[in-house]
Amino acid sequence: MDDTGRRCGGCVACCRHFPIEELSLLAGQKCPHVRRKGCGRYALRPASCRDWSCRWLGDPDAEGLRRPDRCGYLVDHLSGVARIVDNKTGAEMFLEVANVWLCRTEVVSSPTLWKSFIDERLFEYLYKKKLSCAIRHGVNPTALMMFNPEHTGAPEWLDKAVQMSPGFQPGVEEMTRLLGKSVVDMLEMK
Ligand code: SF4
Ligand code: SF4
């Protein structure tokens, strides 16, 4: 990972909201090792924690974003893939989407309202990165898709609440094939 000069400092947003398989933590569950100044078992933290960072921390292009605990959302460094199907023709297309996790415990109402918790800085960042995004909260199976104007040709961002498809979780090679480009750079951000 390039050294962006940014540091987690007092932020433990991912430790409160991100799923950690080794610790059997679901999205939205606070890790029991969170302490006032950070991780209470930093040297022994699991691989999921070692291998992951949010984009604010690891992406040199994210200088316009704010630290996740201050802005209320975090952007996963790993993209996802959205499959878009034309209802008339059945034609498929695949979009690279950033997973954006809301870091607010009280966000439980309609996903269509979730975009009101996102600031303009995120959209500027995503526009620059040519990414659409899926705004998510905890284990809620719904995501609010926000479509980048670059992807739709529309003059502004369009949104649509969608159900996440647990049966559609392509690995790195499959993502690379579907998107027609390498996703390895994103995986190497640590
Ligand atoms: S959300 Fe980002 S800045 Fe905050 S603790 Fe996690 S990696 Fe660090
Ligand atoms: S083990 Fe440490 S780094 Fe991992 S989620 Fe828990 S507090 Fe965060």
DSSP for the chain? ----S---TT--HHHHHS-BGGGTBPTTPPPTTEETTEETTGGG--HHHHT--BHHHH-GGGGGSPPHHHHSEEEEEEEEEEEEE-TTT--EEEEEEEEEEE--TT--S-GGGGGGGS-HHHHHHHHHHT-EEEEE-TT-SEEEEEE-HHHH--SS-EEEEEE--TT----HHHHHHHHTS--HHHHT--
Q: Where are the domains of the chain?
A: 53-187
User: What is the pTM for the complete model shown?
Assistant: 0.84
pLDDT of residue 92: 81
Q: How many angstroms is it from 93 CA to the middle of ligand 2?
A: 37
How confident is the model over 40-91, as pLDDT tens digits?
A: 998 999 999 998 889 999 999 999 999 999 999 999 988 888 877 777 888 8
Decide: 146 in ligand 1 pocket, CB within 6 A.
no
Q: What is the mean pLDDT of the chain?
A: 84
pLDDT of residue 125: 96
How confident is the model over 89-113, as pLDDT tens digits?
A: 888 888 888 999 998 777 667 888 8
Q: How many angstroms is it from 190 CA to the middle of ligand 2?
A: 15
How confident is the model over 115-152, as pLDDT tens digits?
A: 888 999 999 999 999 999 999 888 788 889 999 999 88
Q: How many angstroms is it from 92 CA to the middle of ligand 1?
A: 35
How confident is the model over 20-30, as pLDDT tens digits?
A: 989 999 888 89
Which ligand has its closest atom nearest to the C-alpha of 30? Answer: 2
